Amino acid sequence: MYTYRKYDSAVETEQQWWDRTRSWKSVYHETGHVWFATRSGWPVKFVTVDPKVHKNRNANGLTELYSFPAPIPAMLLSYVMAGKVCERLVLPRWLWSLSMMGGYYSDVEKASDYLEHDCGVTSLRRQNKVLCEAEAEVRALVTQPPFRDEIDRLAEALMEFQTLTGTQVRAILGLDQGVALSPSGD
């Protein structure tokens, strides 16, 4: 399990500290998405934080589903907010502004578009309220001990292997027995 460590010049340079912190932020962000999708029964192709895999995308990671389920607003919004919630599990409060960049901003933008165009919620105040409710629901789930343990195991594996297939994710979560992890993604 990742534990936040304050910057210590005797251990690493400031740039190394920021790189490590950003790496774990990205890992937990994508872990949130893939954990929620898998637990919801959505078919996951893969999840990655390997820049070679998602090099043409404006993101630090990518969770790709085989097909997106028929939109169920509450579930879709919870999926979007799961990234933010999970990265905030490991970042200290003073670093939370770091989570307002990158994937989180893109996620909220997509959710706002969905609320406006597909659900007819045009008021920014109402959109914010709906997203905050989805975030609270996910936070209530991920802080429960069995789910938090799953998230930490998944994050550790994603940090180690950089890319996990949907089958590997299911195995880590204990949903598929007998599937071995390997760096090749098989």
The answer to whether residue 50 sits within a structural domain is yes
pTM as predicted: 0.80
Of the candidate ranges 21-25, 41-45, 126-130, 150-154, the one whose mean pLDDT is the lowest: 21-25
Domain count of the fold of the chain: 1
Mean pLDDT across the stretch 20-30?
A: 82
Question: What is the chain's length?
Answer: 186
Share of residues in the chain with pLDDT > 90 (%): 23
The answer to whether residue 100 sits within a structural domain is yes
CATH value at residue 65: 1.20.58.760
The answer to whether residue 7 sits within a structural domain is no
The answer to whether residue 162 sits within a structural domain is yes
How many CB atoms sit inside 10 A of residue 138's CB? 24
> CA 119, CA 78: separation in Å to the nearest integer?
15
- Each residue's pLDDT tens digit, 59-89: 556 777 666 556 566 788 888 889 888 888 8
Mean pLDDT across the stretch 110-127?
A: 87
Domain that holds residue 70: 14-172
